[in-house]
Amino acid sequence: MGEYALSVIPDFGKMPAELTHAQLLSLSERMRSLLARRTALFTAGESSSVPIETAQALAEGLSLSLRAYLDESGQSDRLLLRGDLEELRARGERVLRRRAEQSRELWNTLCLAPHIENRSLCDTLRSIGGFWHLWEPRFFPQELPCDIDYQLIEPVPETLCGVDYLLEYLRRLYAETSLLSHFDSARAEALLQRTYRDYKELPVNLCEPVFDCALGLELLGSDILSIEMTAESLERLSELFEPMSESAGKAALSAAANTLCAKLGSSDTLSLDYFTRHAMSLHPRIEASRCTGSLGGVFTPTAKD
């Protein structure tokens, strides 16, 4: 398992260039010893040898735990050169367990909140409910023992794993659900029906069509809660963007998203950044749709022409 010793050093390639060859070898040996001790614990002392896939998974778990503590405490990676690695790993595990509790609280809140009916969302929340019984932070904190199928407006970065992925997913889902709750459910469902037809069964995002429509109405200075996008509204939006450069168009979308979030009580940093990024990402679609003569593919119209 020695070949995985270096892989458990978080961002090893970014450590200070003045690290000597001797320090590198010493750190590698300390990591290898730590991995050997964790392997012995994993096998309950019955064996010092495990399949290569298991050794790699144990190494990845160590890396995540160490990184969690270093990031949380603001410590430099150089602490790995002098600190007690097992103690640092244990501290990292405690950090990850706290994040797991945060994610459980968010999940409970989401389960209790009213939802627009969607099979993918219900199945995802149900599956997440088993995470805390199956997750093993002592050895494999990077694993995500649940099925997450419901699509977010913006997916969680693949660089996150384990409870870090779950926590970020639930934060984003909470932001979407909170924003969606400010709209009349009957109006929102009517809009979803026009957008997807079978939105209850399809693996689609429930918030995106509603947010996009409200964003368009905000740009026009219209009633955002109506989420009614008429043919006249689409034409006005097209005229609004026609003279704008790309930077001006994205700036207008960003400003509208900020104002919209403020009106809907979604002004926390995560929500603002999340919805603003999405709003600006609409610009290429708006420009492409304007060329075809209608923005109906971006902002769902009230009635089909």
Q: What does the pLDDT look like over 5-39, one tens digit per residue?
A: 444 444 444 445 556 778 778 888 888 889 989 99
Structure tokens at 54: 């298991």
Per-residue pLDDT, 77: 80
**What is the C-alpha separation between 266 and 269, in angstroms, rounded?**
9
Cβ neighbours for 258, distance < 8 A, ≥ 6 positions apart: 272, 276
- pLDDT band at residue 184 using 50, 70 and 90 as cut-offs: very high
Structure tokens at 40: 């012995």
Query: What is the CB-side half-sphere exposure of residue 286 using CA atoms within 13 A?
Result: 28
Model confidence at 69: pLDDT above 90 = yes
**What is the C-alpha separation between 40 and 38, in angstroms, rounded?**
5
**What is the C-alpha separation between 190 and 74, in angstroms, rounded?**
48
- pLDDT band at residue 66 using 50, 70 and 90 as cut-offs: very high
Mean pLDDT comparison of 34-43, 201-210, 295-304, highest-scoring range: 201-210
* % the chain with pLDDT above 70: 92
pTM score over 0.85: yes
Per-residue pLDDT, 23: 79
**What is the C-alpha separation between 46 and 282, in angstroms, rounded?**
57
